[in-house]
Amino acid sequence: MISYEMALGLSLVPVFIVAGSFRLVDIVNASGPGGSPFRCCRPSSSI
């Protein structure tokens, strides 16, 4: 249980770093038309 949750939580860290915020609206805007999709810049987290 701990192993998969650790991987799941660490996969979100790059998203927060790129978005620069914990707000879901900012995260959506960062990956929207003005920004780059996270699965392109962070493929490891996407996997």
Partner 1 sequence: MQRFKRRSGRVRPRGPPRPGLPREGRHGDQHGGRVQRIANGIDAATSGRLADSCRRWPTPWAPAGPTEAANRSSPTGQGCAAYARPRRRRGGFSGATDDRDRGHHPDQDRHHPVSLLTAFAYSRCSSGWCRPGCRRAWDQPGGALRAPAAARRRPEAVLQVAERSGHPGRFLYLAAPVLSLAVAFTAFTIIPSAADRPGGAQSPHQLVRDQHQRGVLFYFALTSLGVYGIFWPAMRPTASTPLLGGLRSSAR
List contacts with partner 1 (CB under 8 A).
1, 12, 16, 21-29, 32
Give the count of beta carbons closer than 10 Å to the beta carbon of residue 2. 6
Shortest separation between residue 14's beta carbon and partner 1, angstroms: 13
Shortest separation between residue 24's beta carbon and partner 1, angstroms: 4
Judged by CB, which is closer to partner 1: 6, or 12?
A: 12
CB 37 within 8 A of CB 4: no
CA distances from 3 to 14, 39, 42, 44 (A): 18, 22, 21, 17
Shortest separation between residue 11's beta carbon and partner 1, angstroms: 13
